[in-house]
Amino acid sequence: MRKYQCLFVSLLVALSAEAQPLAKEYKSTGEGNPLSGSVFCADPTAVEYNGRLYVYGSNDNQQYLKNRKTGGNGYGDIRSLVVFSTADMLNWTFHGTIDVAKLCASWGWRFAASWAPSIVRRTTADGQDEFFLYFANSGGSIGVLKASSPVGPFMSPLKKPMIDGDTPGVKPCNWIFDPGAVVDDSGQGWIAFGGGDPQPSGSKLWPGNSRIARLNASMTGLDGAAVLMPAPYLFEASELNIIGGRFVYTYNTSWSDRDDWSSFAGRNGQPAPSTCSMCYMVSDTPLVPDSWEYRGEYVPNEGNFGMGWGNNHTHLHKFKDKYYLLYHSTLLEQTMKEGGAMDSEASGYRSIGIDEVRVTESTQTLGKMTLTRAGAAANGTLDPYQLQQAETMATCGGISYEDFSNIEKNTAVSTLGNDASANQQVRMTESSWIFLRRVDFGATGASRFLLRARGEGTVEIRIARKGAKAEATFSIASDTMSDYAVDVDPARFQGVKNIYIVASAGTELYLDAWQAESAGQADNLQIVRLDDSRVEQSDDSLYDLQGRRLGAAPTVGKGIYIVNGRKVVVR
């Protein structure tokens, strides 16, 4: 009889878990696009660093909050940039925002907005990494930020825009924006930019607004005048790549008709590109206008999943020996509207997606793209035995980020600081959840989970399904960030699993980070929050603001810590 009672109790527990209504998802757990299931962002750029791909974009979410979550996206209040990163193409860490308005406060009236970033990395002669983040200062100029790590701290090396209408070679150019930067194989920096309706002296086919220039040694100015690029039907979204030793320039075409296409002698048998599509050109000598060879359309205008948002802005990037195309669409907006989570009057709030693209390096040929909901295939697994920020997820339901409350309250007086947000936490309430794909617990399995959190409530770890029974249960009761540890059955956490972190109770929970301990691991593992001091570590391995391994000095509070079994001394 006792055996049947136990089975009955187990069944009730399982049914209770299944019956608990959980927050709705607006990015499917089985799909990779968009990157975020909760953050609007657009105009992607990316840089690889220490095995991770860092992605930056225009912060459409800032405009969405400024508009009180309704109305059209007018872009004018976008004054920050978002930062994500991944190592596996499935799980993305949201590093928060770069407060460009605060960084460029010394510009005075010259600063207007921060759109369409482009980031490059170079290594100096003494082995130091430098990151240069260019951005469109609305449609009238281009600014630059500089840092020694991909998440900052960033600073403005200039007290004004880097490129404007007075820069030699720029005029006439309707929109001085959408920078696309690259560092070539010799270490020389280049930048392309420009867009808008045709010049009075131009035409639909030749608008006359595209420019390219060599960057100077500091990467914060031009080495010589900008030069006109002959880009047919150019409208916006300039990007540069070096592929097979040659320059590859990509851009977004205009909405004008194509009745003058036949007059283009260099069309190379290509049909006229569709309106608002992505096209590309190739050159060996970028400052010689006639050297550019038009190659055609590689991203046709498919209405971005058939959802009616016309423009696009792409970034092509090679990562772990595969090429990926980052772009934006209104996929998240449309799913939120369909689910009743977004005002029907809200429009134009974009989200970044990613798909693999076929690139033939020897001929600089880009395969024609189809944008998908599935997104890029896995390019690795998530290591649970490394510190994982709560902001790392494949998708989610019902969560929010603490730093966006700062933007919502007052964009002029933001507490975000000068780098990707160090105060980032995930806010959860009862029924909210985080989903992680392909978490590799190995053959030994995990025997313990550690969670850093504050608030009052219950957080559970579940396997495979949102409604599955809890494999680990954390009872959170603390006004400050505290560490909680729960032992688990290693047999349940072996191999590659999809897991959910679920708030099953509580109204105000904040999650900072989590980590698993393997069955054979030392018992002194701790989670460490990286904040405001410098670190010395015996093997010279350093970490960024979100706990990722970096080559620049990270920050923690003073003390002695154990990170993955290694002693860290903070003086």
Taking phi first (over 0 means left), then psi (-120 to 50 degrees means alpha), and beta for anything else, what does residue 204 get? alpha
Give per-residue pLDDT as tens, 468-480: 999 999 999 999 8
User: CA angle at residue 205 from 201 to 210, to 5 degrees?
Assistant: 70
Average pLDDT, the chain: 87
Question: pLDDT value at position 534?
Answer: 38
pLDDT value of position 340:
94
Q: Which residues contact 231 (CB under 8 A, 6 or more apart)?
A: 210, 249, 251, 279, 281, 292
pLDDT of 559 > 80? The answer is no
If you average pLDDT over residues 303-311, what whole number do you get?
A: 54
Least confident window among 5-14, 267-276, 344-353, 424-433: 5-14
233-240 average pLDDT score: 98
Output the CA angle 527-90-44, nearest 5 degrees. Answer: 100
Contact (Cβ atoms closer than 8 angstroms) between residue 381 and residue 89? no
d(CA 277, CA 83): 26
The answer for residues whose C-beta is within 8 angstroms of residue 111's C-beta and 6 or more apart is: 79, 100, 101, 104, 105, 137, 143
Query: From edge to edge, which strands make up the β-sheet containing 234-243?
Result: 234-243, 246-253, 278-283, 293-299
Q: Rounded distance, CA 349 to CA 170, Å?
A: 30
Q: For 165-186, what is each residue's pLDDT tens digit?
A: 999 999 999 999 999 999 999 9
pTM of the model: 0.89
Per-residue confidence (pLDDT) for residue 194, from 0 to 100:
98
- Whether the per-residue pLDDT at 403 is higher than 50: the answer is yes
Separation between Cα atoms, residue 102 and residue 116, nearest integer Å: 18
- Residue-wise pLDDT tens digits, 253-265: 999 999 999 999 9
Residue scoring higher pLDDT (57 or 68): 57
Give residue-wise pLDDT tens across range 408-454. Answer: 554 333 444 445 666 678 999 999 999 999 999 999 999 999 999 99
Does the pLDDT at position 349 exceed 70?
yes
State residue 279's pLDDT score.
97
Tens of pLDDT, residues 22-54: 999 999 999 999 999 999 999 999 999 999 999
Query: What pLDDT shows up at residue 543?
Result: 41
